[in-house]
Amino acid sequence: MSEDLYWTLIDIANGLLSGAMLGGYYAIISLGLALVFGVMRLVNLAHGDWLIVAAYIAAVVVQFLGFPPFVSLIVVVPAMFVIGYALQRYLLNRVSVQAMEEKGMSSNFGLMSPILVTFGMSIVIAHALLGIFASDATGIKNALSYSAIRLTQDLSISTLRLIFFGIAGAILVSVHLFLHRSHAGRAIRAASDDPEVASLMGMRTERIYALASAISLAVAGVAGVAVGMSRTFQPFDGPQFLLIAFGVVIVGGLGSIAGSLVGGVLLGITQVLAGTYFGPSAQLVAGYMLILFVLAVRPQGLFSR
Amino acid sequence: MTEILAVSELRKSFGALRVADRISFVVRQGEILGIIGPNGAGKTTLFGLLAGNIRADSGRIEFDGADVTHLPAHDRARAGLARTYQIPRPFTHMTVFDNLLVAARFGGDMDEAEAESWVERVIGAMGLRAERNTLAGRLPLLMRKRHELARALATRPKLVLVDEVAAGLTDAEVEQFIALIRGIRDSGITVVWIEHVMKTMLTATDRLIALDAGQLLVSGPPQEVINASEVRRVYLGA
């Protein structure tokens, strides 16, 4: 094999591998957004900000309790679960499509009002974080954040990203099993199909929605820890993760859980390969071009049902 | 005979449109009560009011001895009130079995084991054995209609509200449904049945009420109601 061909192949292999691994990270970031959209047709514009909240909770736990970053999950995930449940039950359910219809208003209000509410929430969260933590960059990196696994002499992958990929896969499988095999999961699927009929069948949709929202933010909690271990973060960083999540969800298919991983991997590979061949500045552009391409060719996303 | 449902002075308006105007009637335990009326008479709205999808402006609904006027739909379902839709609304991404299972577990308040064996029985009784594991969204029309009824029964109701099943079916298929619904009644479940096809209502019900423009016109034995001058007027314009 000629030297040139070897390096070409190594470049491609590296792009595919690290792009795919980046996809796991993206999937964790997006899964919660995909879930609440799939179940409630609710677009949570504060998704990224909640993720940053989770990252800050993790930072506090790591700093004051001295936990290693990964162990902070045992605090972060339950905390985010509770926040998600309460948020849906006591705030978002009041502005949902059903709530608006019950008040005799157009269901368009029901689609619009959660967008406005979560947009406002996004601003409030960012400023609250600024008030509490100031704008200094925070992080919870440890040695793991810098370690890599060497596959061949010229091919290696980031240990952290590999772990995230495994976690993304595990979350996907558990959420899928939960939705299909468990009592509560079946209720979530039923309510997502037809909330009115679900209530006729004796289901309390407002609680079911709260549970879905709780799971969504619990996963965002994992994402927050993943972000904190990968890079530094600041109070106003939320929207960029929302943007990543939107991209992944558009590529993978709105509301599709499996689509999050596929969408994440495709976006990751596109960005890394573009970065390899056209320089770092091409990464974002390539990502958006992929999103644009999918919107043009298959607007419902690759995995939409 | 005891009354399982008593409706008094029920009123509902959507803006200026009066869809239920002081409707009062009773449903007796173990009967098949038919509801007829021209399009827009308020039949389906009445079902919405009874099942709790729509809240009444005023009036009172008593079900099985308790006032349910202000109960939300899910509590009415748990109390034993079930409803079907004219255009079936299955949970399309779930199998027939899972559709019935959630109905039994939530509406019927059963535990998993009890719900599973109950659902198997309902599936058998409703002739859906072969479709047990089919996604409900893939069922053809006739099976969808059976499924709609089966899912309502899976909640183990005391009273089931059946909204038009005959539309789009052949005479033989309608006969099958009449037999099914009679069978449901014979198993001790009271039935309130909306239908557009007069012939079906005449042969299949014990008693009829006729609605028009949100008002109750007449109630009584099927033949009498159909012959009543008010009913002939709204149906035939004579």
Q: What is the DSSP string of B107-123?
A: TS---HHHHHHHHHHHH
Strand extents, DSSP E, A115-233: 148-152, 155-158
Query: Cβ–Cβ of B155/A202 closer than 8 Å?
Result: yes
Structure tokens at B122: 């309902």
The predicted pLDDT at position A135 comes to 87
Query: Cβ–Cβ of B107/A183 closer than 8 Å?
Result: no
| Domains of chain A: total | 1
CATH 3.40.50.300 boundaries in chain B: 3-80+157-236
Query: B3-80+157-236 in CATH: which number?
Result: 3.40.50.300
Percent of chain B with pLDDT over 90: 75
Residues B7 and A268: their CA atoms lie apart, in Å, by 61
Q: Which residues of A touch B106 (CB under 8 A)?
A: 187, 201-203
Tell me: the pLDDT tens digits for B121-132? 999 999 999 999
Matching residue, tokens 């909690």 = A221
Closest partner CB to B103 (pick from A194, A201, A204): A201
Q: Which of residues 168-227 of A touch B (CB under 8 A)?
A: 183, 186-187, 189-190, 193-194, 196-205
CB A233 within 8 A of CB A137: yes
Query: Cβ–Cβ of A202/B108 closer than 8 Å?
Result: yes
User: Mean pLDDT, chain A, as a whole number?
Assistant: 91
Q: Chain B residue with minimal CA distance to A190?
A: B91
| Per-residue tens of pLDDT for chain A, all 305 residues | 688 899 889 889 988 999 999 999 999 999 999 999 888 888 899 999 999 999 999 999 999 999 999 999 999 999 999 999 999 999 999 888 777 777 777 777 777 888 999 999 999 999 999 999 988 888 888 888 888 888 888 888 899 999 999 999 999 999 999 999 999 999 999 999 999 999 999 999 999 999 999 999 999 999 999 999 999 999 999 999 999 999 999 998 877 888 899 999 999 999 999 998 998 889 889 999 999 999 999 888 887 75
Find the range with the poorest average confidence among A207-211, B22-26, B40-44, B205-209.
Answer: B40-44
Closest partner CB to A189 (pick from B78, B93, B106): B93
**Bridge partners (DSSP) listed for residue B94:** none
Residues A189 and A200: their CA atoms lie apart, in Å, by 15
Test the B interface: residue of A103, A180, A200, A303 with most B CBs within 10 Å:
A200
Residues B14 and B42: their CA atoms lie apart, in Å, by 12
Q: Which domain holds residue A179?
A: 23-237
Q: Got the DSSP string for B30-65?
A: T-EEEEE--TTSSHHHHHHHHHTSS--SEEEEEETT
Query: Cβ–Cβ of A187/B106 closer than 8 Å?
Result: yes
Q: Which residues contact A296 (CB under 8 A, 6 or more apart)?
A: none
B113, exposed or middle or buried, with CB in 10 Å at 0-12, 13-18, 19+? exposed
A245 is a domain residue: no
DSSP element (H, E) containing B81: strand B81-83
Closest partner CB to A200 (pick from B51, B55, B101): B51
Query: Cβ–Cβ of A203/B102 closer than 8 Å?
Result: yes
CB A133 within 8 A of CB A195: no
B58, exposed or middle or buried, with CB in 10 Å at 0-12, 13-18, 19+? exposed
Query: Cβ–Cβ of B107/A204 closer than 8 Å?
Result: no
A187 is a domain residue: yes
Query: Cβ–Cβ of A202/B85 closer than 8 Å?
Result: no
Q: Chain B residue with minimal CA distance to A184?
A: B102
